[in-house]
Amino acid sequence: MIYAIGDIHGCLKPLKSLINKLPLKSQDELVFVGDYIDRGPESKEVVDFLLSDRKPNWRFLKGNHEQMFLDWLKTSDSTAASNWLLNGGYETLKSYLSIDALDEIHGQDIKALLKPVLPEEHIRFFESLSLTYETSDYFFCHAGVNLDKPLNAQEPEDLLWIRRKFLEDPRPTPKLVIHGHTPIEKVDLSRDRINLDTGCVYGRVLTAVSLPNKKVYQVKK
């Protein structure tokens, strides 16, 4: 059995509850479709939990929020900083920095405040995240795919950011695509693409699905 979990966004309690709810067996795979951080209150704690609890058959994919964080961390480009901070990055900073450090955030280099308290293990985790995971029947990614291209020729930009071009494309997908990224209220299992982002960070639910039986598991924030 394969289980997949949607966008977490710093929501630690629902994440723990959802994993406990899944009837995982030692041989089962667990795929996370990305966006572990930002917007929610416990980004650092989510990463700590995943690193401490992970199993060999857990698969971690990269979301656009992890990519934004890495872009900001590895460049002096002010645009990268603005993109990340304006898209929930400040909540991630709050989970890593003390209140005293946050009080000094204005007028200082944010990186100079964060780097001393950002665990190297967390950086390696973000850098190690895969863009896709594929089986004979399923294709997992964060945002979706560009159906103008074969699955093995997808661009990172599409895998991390695509929305309407994929979601509204009526053409069939080569495999069942399991993704997140675009918040929805209800999971639709009738199509050849399953969106697992049910807006937990916005007060709704965190969602998982099992495959091949397509059973949905959810917990409230």
Nearest to 67 by CA among 173, 178, 143: 143
How many domains does the chain contain in total?
1
Report residue 107's pLDDT band, with 50, 70 and 90 as the boundaries: very low
Domain that holds residue 28: 2-220
Q: Per residue in 124-137, pLDDT tens?
A: 999 999 999 999 99
CB half-sphere exposure, 94, CA atoms < 13 A: 11
pTM above 0.85, yes or no: yes
Both tokens of residue 196?
């697992």
For the domain that residue 208 is a member of, what is the CATH number?
Answer: 3.60.21.10
Phi, psi of 49 (to 5 degrees): -65, -45
* Cβ 6 vs Cβ 197: under 8 Å: yes
pLDDT digits (tens, 9 = 90+) for 5-62: 999 999 999 999 999 999 999 999 999 999 999 999 999 999 999 999 999 999 999 9
Average pLDDT over residues 108-120: 82
Name the residue among 139, 145, 193, 160 with its Cα closest to residue 69.
Answer: 160
